[in-house]
Amino acid sequence: MKRSLLCSILCLYCLSQTSAQTPFTTRDSVFINKINASVLLHGDMWWDPVSQLPKCEFPKYTGKNIGFVSSLWMSGYDAGGQLHVSSQTYRQSGNDYWPGPLDASGNLNYSTSANWAKFWKVRRSDIQYFQSLTTHTTSNTPASILTWPAAGNTYAAGYAGAPLTISATTTMAPFIDLNANGIYEPLSGEYPDVKGDEAIWWAFSDNGPSHNNSNGHPLGVEIHAMSYGYGRGTLIDNVVYYEYTIVNKSGSTYNNFRLAQFSDADLGYYHDDYVGFDSAHRMSIYYNGYFDDGFSGGHPAVSYGIHCPVQGVTMIELPGDAGTTYVPAGNFVSYNNDFSVIGNPSNDTGYDNYIRGKNRNGILFTNDWVGPGLPTLPTGTGPVMRYFYPGDPSDSSQYSECAAGNNPGDRRTVLSTNDFTLAPGASAKIVMALVVTDTNQGGCPNVSFHDINTVADTAWNVYHNPPPPLPAAIGNINAGGQLSVHPNPAGNYLYVDIAGAMSTRATITIYNALGQLQEAPVTDNAQGKVINISALPPAVYFMHYCNDATQRVIKFVKQ
C-alpha cells in the first residue's frame, strides 16, 4: 500500500458506497507500444481502484510504473456567478463522473450508465482486414467495428452485449461515413475513425447517479474520450495520446470554463519525486529527486534505481489554438498530501482554486526565487507564479525543485487550460499525451529536461503529421504453407524460408516503422529468399510477404 491514507480512503470509499450505486472498476489500456497505461470509466486513469495499486507500467511487463492516479478536473462559472465543478481523485468520497451520455434532459441514470460501462477498442489491423473484404456480414466483421457506438448503428452494443439505441442525429463515436448520410453502417463498409495503431473510445458525463467527489454543482457536460498509441519501434512508442471532446449539454454558458489534468504520478518509488514545467510544450514533468530512485525507501521492487525515467503530460491541442499559434497553459501547480493551505482539496472551491493557480484559501501562488537554495516552497511574497518550477534542473540558475533543494516527496499536480467559453450545445476539444523517456535518466542533480522535450516534440509532430499505416497482414497462412525469417535480429542478410503453397508468385517488400518502403534487394536460394539489408540503418522493420493466396507481415530488427 502506497501510504497510510489509502487505508482510510478505502474505508471511507466502502462506507460511502453503501448508500450509493456501485461505481465501475473496468480497466483497459492501449497495449501496442512500450507503455501500459490503464484508463477507467469514471474520468480517472493509471490505477486499479480495487487493489489500490498503480497501473501505468513502463516499460510494460516490468512491474514498474510512471503513474499512480490521474484524472480530469473541470470548472466554470455560469452567468449568475454560480461555480460548477467536476473532479475525480481516489474515489474515497464518491464519483463526479459516470460512464455514458446524458439524456435529453441532461441526466444520466444508473441503468444507462451500466450499459455504457465499456471501452470500445480497435486496432488498425482490424480495420485493414475489414477493408480487404469484398462483402461485409455480421459474421466476418470484427466485433470492435460491428458494435462501434456511432450514430444510428443498429448493431451498437455496450457492456455484456447490451443493445444501445443511438439516434442518427446523435454525435457519438467518430466513424468514416462513406455515403455521407450521417448513419454508421458497418455492413456497407463503414468503420471507426480512429488514430494510431490501436485506440480505445469511451464516453462519460458529470451529471450521473451521483456527484459526490467535489460535492459541487455539476456542469452538465458529456465527455467523449479516445486514447491511442503507435507501435513502430521508434520514439513514438514512448507516447500515449488522450483526446477529449467536451460537450455542453446544460443550458448555461460558461465564459471561464477550464479543464485540468490532476496527477499523482509516483514515479517508481513514490516518496522521492520532484516536479517541473516546460512552457514550450505546455507540459507537466515528474522526475526523481535523487539520482537513485527508491534508495531512501530500501529499494522496493517498484523502484527504478539509477535508471529512472522522466515522465510528462503535454497539452498538444487546446481551445484558442490557431494554426501554429498556441495559447499558453493556464496554470501548473503542485500540492501536498496533507490538509494544510497547500494540501488536498476537500470541496468544490478547493478544486477550483487549484485549477486557477490558487491555494486552498483562494490566494494566488507567488515566489521569491532569487537563486539556488531559495525558496523551498512556492509560497513567497514575490510575483504571481502561474507555473511551478519552470526551470530545467540541469541549470542551477533556473527555478527548479532541484536548484531550490526541496525535500523530495509524494507530489500531486494540476495542469490546467486557460479560460475559454463553452456555450450550450457547443463542444471543445483538448488533446494531451503521456510521454516518457527511456530508463537511463537518473535524477537530481544530473537530470535534464532535454530528453523529455525530445519525446514531447515527437508526440506533437506525429499528432500533426500522422504516419501512414503499416502494411496489413491480411488473411490466414495456407494450411499447406509455412513462412519464417532468420536470424532476428539480423545483420546484413535476412533469410526467408518458404515452404508449400506460400512460395507461389510471391513478392517481398520491406517497410520501416513509419510505413515507408525501403530498398532491399531480394534473391532466391534453395529454401526461399535472401534479403540484402546491409544498406539499412539499425532499426525495427517490417517484411511484407504477398502471394496470390495470402499476405503476412513479420517484424524484424536490423542490428
pLDDT one-digit tens code per residue, 132-177:
889 999 999 999 999 999 999 999 999 999 999 999 999 999 999 9
Whole-number pLDDT of residue 1: 45
pLDDT band at residue 14 under the 50/70/90 scheme: very low
Provide the mean pLDDT of the chain.
90
Distance CA 204, CA 149 (A): 13
Cell numbers representing residue 254 in the block: 460558461
313 pLDDT above the threshold of 90: yes
Q: For the residues 45-69, what does the mean pLDDT come to?
A: 97
Among 94, 108, 116, 388, residue whose Cα is nearest residue 220 = 108
Average pLDDT over residues 241-263: 97
From 274-288, 371-385, 486-500, the region with the lowest mean pLDDT: 371-385
pLDDT at 478 over 50: no
Which strands make up the sheet holding 539-546, listed edge to edge?
Answer: 517-518, 507-512, 539-546, 551-558
pLDDT, average across residues 93-114: 97
Shared domain for 456 and 489, answered yes or no, is: no
Residue 417 covered by a domain: yes
Name which residue leads in pLDDT, 512 or 136. Answer: 136
Over residues 88-93, the mean pLDDT reads 93
Reply yes or no on whether the pLDDT at 465 is more than 50: yes
- The rounded radius of gyration (Å) of the Cα atoms in the chain is 25
120-134, 393-407, 474-488, 498-512: which range is least confident on average?
A: 474-488
* pLDDT at site 99: 98
pLDDT of residue 318: 98
Altogether, the residues listed in the chain come to a count of 559
Q: Which residue has the higher pLDDT, 483 or 209?
A: 209
Name every residue whose Cβ is closer than 8 Å to that of residue 159 and which is 6 or more positions away in sequence.
26, 114, 115, 116, 117, 118
- Under the banding of pLDDT at 50, 70 and 90, the label for residue 475 is very low
Angle at 89 between CA 85 and CA 92, to 5 degrees: 105
pLDDT band at 549 (very low <50, low <70, confident <90, very high): low
Residue with cell 530545467: 392
- pLDDT for position 540: 87
pLDDT of residue 125: 85
Band (pLDDT 50/70/90 cuts) for residue 16 is very low
The residue range of the domain holding 267 is: 22-97+206-355+411-464
268 & 351 share domain: yes
Query: In the predicted model, is pLDDT for residue 7 greater than 50?
Result: no
Q: Is residue 116 part of a domain?
A: no
State pLDDT tens for residues 483-508: 788 899 999 999 988 765 444 456 78
Q: What is the pLDDT of residue 19?
A: 40
- Both 444 and 495 in one domain: the answer is no
Residue 6 lies in a domain: no
3-state secondary structure at position 14: helix
Q: Based on the domain organization, do 345 and 493 belong to the same domain? A: no
Q: Is the pLDDT of residue 547 over 70?
A: no
Q: What is the pTM of this model?
A: 0.87
* CATH number of the CATH domain containing 53: 2.70.98
Give the pLDDT confidence score for residue 376 in this predicted structure: 63
What integer pLDDT is reported at residue 9 of this predicted model?
Answer: 41
348-372 pLDDT, tens per residue? 999 999 999 999 999 999 988 888 8
435 and 495 share one domain: no
Q: Are residues 417 and 523 in the same domain?
A: no
Give how far Cα 3 sits from Cα of 52, 269, 369, 417, 447, Å.
Answer: 10, 12, 31, 30, 27
Same domain, 419 and 541: no
pLDDT for 453 beyond 80: yes
- Is the backbone of residue 362 left (phi > 0), alpha (psi -120 to 50) or beta? left
Q: Are residues 330 and 431 in the same domain?
A: yes
| Structural domains in the chain (count) | 2
Give the long-range contacts of residues 78-82, CB within 8 A, separation 24 or more. 78/252, 78/253, 78/254, 79/252, 79/253, 79/255, 82/217
**Cβ proximity of 375 and 388 under 8 Å:** no
Same domain flag for 551 and 426:
no
386 within domain boundaries: no
Q: Tens digit of pLDDT for each residue in 168-202?
A: 999 999 999 999 999 999 999 999 999 999 999 99
For residue 271, being part of any structural domain is answered with: yes
What percent of the chain has pLDDT above 90? 76
- 517 and 458 within one domain: no
Give me the pLDDT at residue 506, please.
Answer: 66
Q: Is residue 53 part of a domain?
A: yes
Does one domain contain both 67 and 211? yes
CATH of the domain at 546: 2.60.40.10
- Asked if residue 496 and residue 458 are part of one domain, the reply reads no
Which of 4-13, 127-136, 366-375 tops mean pLDDT? 127-136
